[in-house]
Structure 1
Amino acid sequence: MKIAIAMGPWFPVPAIQGGAVPRFWQGLAEQFAASGHQVTMLCRSHPEQPDYEVINRVQYVRRGGFPQSPNIWLDLVKDLVYAITTTPMLPRTDVLVINDFWLPAFAQFHPLVDKVVVNVARFPKGQFRLYQYVDQFAVVSRPIQTAVARQYPAITDRMRVIPNAIDTSVFYPSISSIERSEKVLLYVGRLHPEKGIHLLIDAFAKFSKRFPDVKLKIIGPAQGNQGGGGENYLATLKQKAIGLKIKFVGPIFDPHQLSETYRAADLFCYPSLAEKGESFGVAPLEAMACGLVPIVSNLACFQDFIEHKHTGYIFDHQSSQPADQLALTLETAFSNWSSTCKIARDAAQKAAQYSYEKIAQQYLAEFEQLLRT
């Protein structure tokens, strides 16, 4: 097959400025190519990357692109410009996979493209009426499938649930188990209010009174152009953290360095509050693959791969006292460490099901079926 993958205007590929979606689509592209398919990756240009190159048998074509901003309306305009300028460059291809807002509206009519597949990794915002001639929608979780079907039921029979993937050759558990006297609670992700980091710090302040030997490490970008909540939000977080054993670390974009950071921790917390923003949760899955037990809010998207007290812990972020609920869950995890270690082993086994190889095979099977119709 000739497979083209069109990314949006924000992040370069290979990912050098973050972005879980560019990272795993690079991994899937390389799996497609390793299976003998001709693969082209269309993505934004970057001063550190050439306009054309081949990496691991995947051809990269880079044109245009914009820095992301905190203003969604401005970003929609930028993305429209990017889609209009990218459409004429689409190659002749059997299957075109799109990770972008506006591009499917134009690509569905492109004469050189046989089948168009839209990767749906966000909650719908009314755009699916623009995609009525798209051939298939690969949605990353069941909650996203339900939300799209509710908003635009005409495409229900064209949706397939195919989860995000992680690089299990990079994200894997430590070979040896190290019992640290000072345990590390870790958060990795954007520093944005919707991610609930302020809630995590409030809970940690309560929890640390009983567990003074635990420290919290918070890793991720705060800048608005990287999806963060801005310097004011970061300042608020640091103010809350005064007097607590909390360390703020900037974003880690290198996956090998990131995996080492996971393995150097003892527990992972991802207290997202994004009811209509969280679609899957790659960071908790990467943490699980590295042998960490995830503690997550009870958003539906996490329940595709996290089962309470089996592959992780889930707390009620919608309670009247969510910080108390999270603090109690942290206490449960650290107080019952032998049980938590058993959960960690089950979590790692669960995460192994989401390898690039396994998810790529799901996509290829769908592509082949699509081309037969």
Structure 2
Amino acid sequence: MPARVVFLLEDLEYGGTQRQALELARRLDKSRFQVELWVLRKGDDLAPVARGYGLPVVWLARTGWVGPQSLLNLGKRLWATPPDLLMLLTAIPNIWGRLWGRLARVPHIVGNCRGGAAPWRQHERFLWPAADHILCNSRILRDFLVSRYGLPPSRLTVVPNGVDTEFYQPGADGRGAGPRVLLSVARLVPDKDHDTLLMAFARISGRHPDAELWLVGNGPRRSILEQQVNDLGIAGQVKFLPPARDIRHFYHQAEVFVLSSVAEALPNVILEAMAAGLPVVGTRVGGLPEAVVPEETGLLVAPRDVEGLALALERLLSDPETGRRLGRQGRQRAVELFSFRAMVSRHEEVWSRLLWGNGHASG
């Protein structure tokens, strides 16, 4: 009998963690792991993908926020049908899944710490003992949890995000006569620091009238950022675009990928852009230096460094051959180090060790 594994998520909105969860669940060895998705609130962007993958989805509530109904239903279901292993993804599931999971005597609880602000958002200082094991998607997060919160290294495993390097491939050579696109794919939230990106782009836009900055993502700061674009006088060269389940067409139209975050772990979009053959300009935060090698696959600058970011973007716009070289090498690095196969294998090893005392089989 395969082990019954429940992935607890806040929602199925379009987001990096949600997409990674679906791809992981899809690729697991079904002879050993039977996966269900439990979702705390509505947010259905990726629900059709889950159905297409044949993954059962249990909606614990259909409200727009995680409230008493969601949490009560979570507790009831864990008590009635506890899984063999409970896998917690994003902050709210990492909090309430551990609390209810312990009360319901779930045999194995696996937390996840993803994103630069995750340790304090999900109260790891206090809640780490309630998880049997915690997965981090970057070494810097693991090291932070050990040094700051005193977690035993034996309770932590680094599993970098994976990317489907067959799905994300470089587009056709030559991007035609359209604009030279600087692409940023990120939710419009404070951690992504679009303000710095817009100010940096404003410094170089006059010298590159054929360049456009495309901001792909939704979020609460859109109206604020739109006003900033108008104030900087760059409205004609900046586009706000909604995300989609398949964003390959954005990568194929872009010349440079840029992410100006002030807090990250190891964002999926960086790996996708590398797999698609784009040079990456990013900030030196979280796990980005684990993926982006300066002068080899991209360029890194300090967070909130408007001048440094502007210089990096200027360099690649002025020297497209360097950008193409960095993009080719980034693609190679993504294929070698960040495949889905490696990500799935690492999860299966950790779970097998918890469930059956080994890293290979259920016996």
Same fold, TM-score > 0.5, yes or no: yes
| Alpha-carbon distance in 2 for matches of 1:47, 1:342 | 39
| Alpha-carbon distance in 2 for matches of 1:54, 1:198 | 37
Residue matched to 1:20: 16
Residue matched to 1:119: 112
Whether the 8 Å contact between 2:61 and 2:69 is mirrored in structure 1 is no
Whether the 8 Å contact between 2:214 and 2:241 is mirrored in structure 1 is no
Per-residue CA shift, 1:5-36, capped at 9, x if unaligned? 33333x22xxxx31111111011001115565
Residue matched to 1:270: 259
Bigger mean CA offset, 210-219 vs 127-136: 127-136
Residue matched to 2:265: 279
Q: Which runs of 4+ in 1 moved over 6 A?
A: 47-50
| Change beyond 3 A, Cα 1:329–1:97 | same
Residue matched to 1:324: 307
| Alpha-carbon distance in 2 for matches of 1:309, 1:143 | 21
Structure 1 residue 186: deviation in Å?
0.9
Bigger mean CA offset, 34-43 vs 282-291: 34-43
Residue matched to 1:73: none
Residue matched to 2:73: 85
Structure 1 residue 341: deviation in Å?
0.8
Per-residue CA shift, 1:112-135, capped at 9, x if unaligned? x32111111143113342241421
1:95-106 equivalence runs, <5 A: 95-99=85-89, 100=93, 101-106=95-100
**How many aligned positions are there?**
341
| Alpha-carbon distance in 1 for matches of 2:205, 2:225 | 21
Residue matched to 1:108: 102
| Alpha-carbon distance in 1 for matches of 2:350, 2:282 | 31
Report whether the alignment pairs 1:162 with 2:162.
no
Report whether the alignment pairs 1:236 with 2:227.
yes
| Alpha-carbon distance in 2 for matches of 1:300, 1:344 | 21
> 5+ unaligned residues in a row in structure 2: which ranges?
358-363
Per-residue CA shift, 1:239-285, capped at 9, x if unaligned? 2353454232332132x2x11111111111101123xxx22222222
Identity between Structure 1 and Structure 2 (%): 22
Structure 1 residue 230: deviation in Å?
5.2
| Change beyond 3 A, Cα 1:79–1:33 | farther
Structure 1 residue 299: deviation in Å?
0.9
| Change beyond 3 A, Cα 1:327–1:180 | farther
Whether the 8 Å contact between 2:205 and 2:234 is mirrored in structure 1 is no
Whether the 8 Å contact between 1:33 and 1:39 is mirrored in structure 2 is no
* TM-score in terms of structure 2 length: 0.85
Amino acid at match of 1:270: L
> 5+ unaligned residues in a row in structure 1: which ranges?
69-77, 224-228
* TM-score in terms of structure 1 length: 0.82
Per-residue CA shift, 1:183-239, capped at 9, x if unaligned? 11111111233312121121112112332221211121133xxxxx253x1343332
Amino acid at match of 2:291: F
Structure 1 residue 97: deviation in Å?
0.8
Report whether the alignment pairs 1:260 with 2:254.
no
| Alpha-carbon distance in 2 for matches of 1:304, 1:178 | 29
The one of 339, 344, 349 aligned to 1:360:
344
Aligned residues: CA RMSD: 2.6
| Alpha-carbon distance in 2 for matches of 1:248, 1:18 | 19
